[in-house]
Each structure stands twice: as C-alpha cells, then as structure tokens.
Amino acid sequence: FTAGADKTIRLWHVDTGTNLNTLIDHTDQVMSVFLSLDGKFIVSASLDKTAKIWSVSKGAVLQHLKGYTEEITAVCATPDGRYAITGSVDRSIKLWLIAEEKYLRVYNGHRDEITSLSINRDGTQLLSGSKDFTVRLWDIDTTRNIGTFRGHTDKVNSVSLNPKGRFAISGSSDHKVIFWDTKSGAIIRTLKDHTDAVLAVALSHDGRFVLSGGVDGILKVWDLLTGRCIRTFDDNNSEIASLCFSHDGVYAFAGCADGLIRQWDISCHKKVYEAPKMLTPVVRSETVLEAETQVRAGLKGAEYAIKKGNLNSALKHLRNARSQHGFNRRLEVMSAWTALYPKMKLKSFLGAWKDTVFSGHEKEVRDVCISKDSKLILTGADDNDIKLWDVTNGECLKTIRGHKDSVTTVSMRDNGNTAVSGGLDNAIKIWDIRNRRIQVALPTHNEPIVAVTMSQDGKYVASVGSDKMLRLWDAEAGKFLKAYDGHHNTINCVSFSQDGQLIVTGDIDNKILLWKTSKDGSSDPMSKFVEHTAPITSVKFSVDGKYIVSGSTDNNIKLWEVSTGKCIRTFIGHKSPVTSAVISTDGRFIVSGSHDNTARLWDVSTGDCIKAFFGHNSTVQSVCISSDSRYIITACGNIVNLWMIDWDLEV
C-alpha cells in the first residue's frame, strides 16, 4: 500500500507493479498509512485532519476518526487490531478505540509536531519521533513516557521500534541514523553516511537490518550487528520519502518524491553478508599518508601562489589536493577552494550540500539576507524578532527586538552595519544592528508593511504595503519624501537598483512598475512590465542594473531587460507559487524559493534548472545568494539553511 499527495491510497501487485485498487475519501494529502497485522484493514492519516479505517477487501471506509483541529501526520495500529494511534501537528498522540471511533488516551510530552510512530510486536510500547529533535518511548496502557532519547541536532523524520521493543532506530534532518538502546536511552551506534536529511528508516522483521533514505536519493542497507552499510543503491534520482521491507527481507520498497515506488532486491540474509564487507578497495596506510602529504603540499603551494598573484598555479595545486581520495570536501581544502571564487570565473556546477542550519526563531522566518562579505545573515520572523547570525559557526550573535508584530521584511546595507525592517505592526525601523539600537523609526503606515528596502548608499528607504502606495523616505532624517501612485492594489515587493537611482515594485494585479528615485520629479512609473499571469511576489535588480528578476504565483520566474521592458527569459520548473527570487552578483545565476518546498538554482544563459534543493518540509519563504556565489540561504519554517555550492573554476 502507498499513500501520497494526490489524496489517495493505492494497492499494488508486487510481482506485476499493477495498481489493483485506489482508495479515495481523504480531501487532502495522505501523510501516513498502516496495514494491520492480519492484513484486513488499513489506517490512514491525512492533512485533512482525519484518520480513516479502511477495509482491504472492500476498499471502503469503515470508520472515521475525527476530533483533531490540526493536521494528522503519523499513524499506526496495535497488533490486536482494536486500537489506532495517531500523531498530529498539535504535538499530541492519541489512542483510538476503532470500534467506537473515539479516542481513549492522549500521550503528551513532545514540544513540536509528531512526524512518525512505531509500535512493538506485543502492543505494549509506542515509539514517536518529532520535530523537537527527540525520540520518545511510551507505555501504551498508562501513557507514561518511559524514555526520551536526545542525540539528534535537527528534526526527527522517521522512527522504527524493533519487535521486542528493546532497540529503536531514528532518522533525522541532521543527516544521521541513530540506533538506540531503549532501556538505557544510550546511543548504540550513529550511522553517518547520508549527505542530506534522512527522511525514512525501516527495520527488518527480525530486527537485524535497517533501511535508510532521504533527500540525497540514496538507499542504504545497514547491518545493526556490525554497524556497517552493506548495500548502497545510488541509482535513484529522486528523494526517498518512505521505506519498508518485505517480510522475508529480500526486497526494499521506497516511495519517492517524483511519484514513483521503487523496488530493490537487497537479499539481506544471503550468507555473503556474514563476512566483513569492503565496499571500496583496500588502501594501504602508506597510500593514505601520501595523500595527506599531497593535500598539505597542495594547500601550501596554493597559498604561496596566491601571494605571488599566480592564480593558475594556485588552481593547479588545489585541484591536486581535491583529487586525493577522501579529501575532496575536507573543510580546509574547501575553504581554500571557495576562497578563490571572487578571484576566478565560475566554470561549472559541481555539487551542493546543506552546510549549516540556523535555529532559534520560535515562529516562521519571513525574510533573510546576507552581508556583502558573506559573514553575517539577518532574519526577520513571525516571533517579532530580528536575528543576526554568524555564517562561520551558525551562532546567533544578536537578537534585535522592537517590533510589536511579525517582522515581514529585512534588508541590510553592504557594510553589514545598518539594516531596515518592516512588519505587521505598520512600523519601519532603521537599525544599528551591531549595537542592537534603533537609529531611526519612520512614521508608521496606515496598513501593514509588506516589504522595505534601503539604497546601498544609505540615503533612502522605500516601503510598500497593502495601502497600494510606494513611499520614499530620507533614511538619515527619518522624513517622508514622496509617495508614488500607480498601483491599484496591494504591492508585494520592492527593490532599489545598486546605484539607488531606480526602484522596482510588483503587485497582486500581476504588474511590475519601474520608478525613478527622485524626491522632486514625477510620481508616475517610467515603465511597466506585464507578462506574468498571477500576482508578483518578488522583484530584484541585477547588480549592474540592466535586468530585473521577478517571481510570481503563476509558478514562474522571469528575467526582464530594464532598457526595453522586454521579458528575455522565463524559468519554468516550480510546481507551486514562487515566493522569492534573486540574481547572483555576476548575473549568471538565479536562485528561487517556492511553496513547492524547494529552492532552485538556475542558469540565466540557458534557463535550465541547475539544482533543486529538497529537504524543506514547508514553503521556502525567502532565499538569497552570497556575493561570491559560495552560499545559498533558504528560510523555511522557523529555521534557515545555508547550502554550500561547489563550483569548478577557471582563471
């Protein structure tokens, strides 16, 4: 059985791959499905806030489990078939008497959304995973929290309890799979081979083997007795959202983000696995030492060559260092390599991975920006706070308070010292961010502020909102200078050109307008860009001021030529409205975020999507790219992700 975003549950024939039956009754995405031990009924959980009991033979709904006010995200059932257990966004776990369609017990303790549930064979213990980074073990009869397992540094996406309840497995967005002793709560093993969020784990029926998969699209099979990865299947081009074993342990099944279910022959119990496995050739210690020597020599040679101004030589030394097996992404090697980005041309895309997660906001992050030197990140969120982050270590350097409602927009000057913010409290504030001090508080709008931006010379602030007006302010004196009238509905976004001479705005009537920055001149727009078929959500100038990139709820991104007003290229690939779009400093790349839970990197010259960044569990609200194109930053939920971008280089 499978469940998906199409609101259905499907029954498949394993041998033929035929869809035997489709169960339809949910009105929103089905998040979890569980087959009873006797194979007679299915329990499903959905974002429509209901759980349902289905007859396998009839394909019909037998019972509706109602009572939640939030989405249901996880489900399982006791082995005797009498009870169903559900987990929800509201942090609670409920046990339901199926026959009477009512819940009997509530298991409280998690501090964030429940993501996964698993029950032991005799139905006495329940395991739960949550976005609060913890795994919890419960006594089903008493609702007592037997154990809380802490060790993950990001949300737990999937859990599995072995049949006797003695051990547990969890997979997390911190890229790790952890093997737990449920009696002591101790970590037995941490399995670290994944390069991105682990979204799914599954235990074999005998409890010896584990499947893991996630955003990197790689399926791994682990032997828990040795902690070794005994099989890696990397031929999958889509992230793995769900996993299960066949009862005999011969097959693994994966539900993937591209809508396909994949089946692998993994044959865990073949005798070949009784011996130690070597998935790579044996490397002699002398060879490893020689590689380390080559890396050290490469780093030294590159450092010397850079001092002498010989970039070709520096590139050659670092290529040699990166070619040594196991050293390609070592921290000191990547630091030296990325330090060349501002000095060289980015030749081609090599790869990307999540490097740092910034967590500290209590509610959704609405906007994010990065300083010109790529050392600081600024965020604004629905918790009314602005936070300043250190890129190098992920620490929150300062929390800046002053808004009385959600901070919807933040913008930072190139010097990294001054920022402007706007919020639902109708206020605009200019900050000395290093001292957490308000420099200027501009007179409040009559309506909530949707977006603000500051010119890079620090002279002007432009603000827009639901009052349909573009307003220009003197940033130093805090005085209102001018109102631009041309939009007839809410303005969603605003941006200054790098030289501060032009302003661009986008509204919910699908229009983009270009304005001249002048406190005395005309208040009419210079140009109008009309080709989007839905509201504009984002506008940004290229650094040279020749182009504008826009995002829209029509799911598309467009690149416009300022001088002619023509759309040069449309970037198509997002499956839901675009929330944010920016263009790189060199004008060669665009980064976008969307309600489809992805961010994307685009090639401006071809319109192709270079990379889709999966692993976000909700809308990507805001994106930005560092001036050297080393980092892409994405805001999703109450966290911010920093992605390292690996480029090949040429002088």
Residues 532 and 586 in one domain: yes
- 424 within a domain of the structure (yes/no): yes
Residues 171 and 319 in one domain: no
Helix (H) or strand (E) run with residue 334 in it: helix 331-338
Among the candidates 108, 132, 153, a domain finishes at 108
CA pair distance 11, 248, nearest whole angstrom: 20
Residues 81 and 131 in one domain: no
- 624 within a domain of the structure (yes/no): yes
> What is the structure's pLDDT at 154?
93
- 651 within a domain of the structure (yes/no): no
- 103 within a domain of the structure (yes/no): yes
Residues 468 and 527 in one domain: yes
- 564 near 547, Cβ under 8 Å? no
Residues 20 and 100 in one domain: yes
Question: Which amino acid, one-letter code, is at 618?
Answer: S
Write the DSSP symbol of residue 555. S
- 233 within a domain of the structure (yes/no): yes
The number of beta carbons lying within 10 Å of the beta carbon of residue 272 is: 9
Residues 396 and 329 in one domain: no
- 37 within a domain of the structure (yes/no): yes
Q: Enter the tokens of residue 582.
A: 């920016």
Residues 550 and 484 in one domain: yes
Residues 205 and 308 in one domain: no
> What is the structure's pLDDT at 37?
86
Total residues found in the chain within this entry:
651
Strand segments (E) across 219-280: 219-223, 228-233, 240-245, 251-256, 261-265
Rg (CA), the chain: 27
What stretches in the chain show pLDDT beneath 70? Answer: 235-236, 268-281, 444-445
Listed residue (402, 489, 418) closest to 450, CA to CA: 489
Residues 126 and 96 in one domain: no
Number of H helices, E strands in the chain: 3, 54
- Residue 314 three-state SS: helix
Residues 267 and 408 in one domain: no
Among the candidates 276, 302, 323, a domain finishes at 276
Helix (H) or strand (E) run with residue 308 in it: none
Q: What is the CATH number of the domain that holds 51?
A: 2.130.10.10
What is the widest separation between alpha-carbon atoms in the chain? 84
Among the candidates 313, 344, 375, a domain finishes at 344
Q: Enter the tokens of residue 405.
A: 């409602």
Q: Say if strands 512-516 and 156-161 run parallel, antiparallel, or are unpaired.
A: unpaired
Write the DSSP symbol of residue 154. S
- 38 near 55, Cβ under 8 Å? no
Environment class of 251 (CB within 10 Å of its CB; exposed 0-12, middle 13-18, buried 19+): middle
Residues 138 and 86 in one domain: no
- 454 within a domain of the structure (yes/no): yes
> What is the structure's pLDDT at 522?
76
Q: How many domains does the chain have?
A: 4
- 338 within a domain of the structure (yes/no): yes
Range of the domain at 328: 285-344
Residues 487 and 512 in one domain: yes
